[in-house]
Amino acid sequence: MEAYKRKNHGGRLLFVDIGDPSFDPVPYGITLDEFMAQMHAIDRTGRVYRAVEAFWAIWQAFPASTLYGFLGTLVMLPGVNLLARLGYRGFARFRRYLPRRIPPCAGGSCRIDHR
């Protein structure tokens, strides 16, 4: 999500940290476990996009002439979409085991402590 935040999306994306203790999933009608299990994007009308479709929804916020705009078109092609869904399903199973930056790196760069 940090990469998307840094890119120019014209303010069309609002990011919500579902890991923040003050996050309340109830208004969305989605459990916290569901939010944690896969990527979600919710548009202005309240439509919920999950997994690969969530990436597609996010990429729609970027101009078509950008890499993300191109990926948004590409990922919805029938053969590519099937592969993306299969790939995401595998990724989602292991995502929780990937290292996280906690606390986040201040100023966009991190220092490695060798102790």
Q: What angle do CA 94, 95, 101 make, to 5 degrees?
A: 135
Res 74: pLDDT: 94
CA nearest neighbour of 40 among 26, 28, 27, 23:
28
What mean pLDDT is reported for the chain?
81
Mean pLDDT over residues 52-67, rounded?
A: 89
CA nearest neighbour of 72 among 61, 86, 88, 85:
61
Q: How confident is the model at residue 36 (pLDDT cuts 50, 70, 90)?
A: confident
Q: Give 44's contacts (C-beta < 8 A, 6+ positions apart).
A: none
Distance CA 35, CA 41 (A): 10
Distance CA 56, CA 41 (A): 9
Mean pLDDT over residues 46-63, rounded?
A: 89
Q: What's the predicted TM-score (pTM) here? A: 0.71
Res 18: pLDDT: 87
Distance CA 29, CA 81 (A): 26
By percentage, how much of the chain surpasses pLDDT 70?
82
- Could you tell me the residue ranges of all domains in the chain? 2-101
pLDDT at 86 over 90: yes
pLDDT at 114 over 50: no
Res 54: pLDDT: 92
Res 78: pLDDT: 92
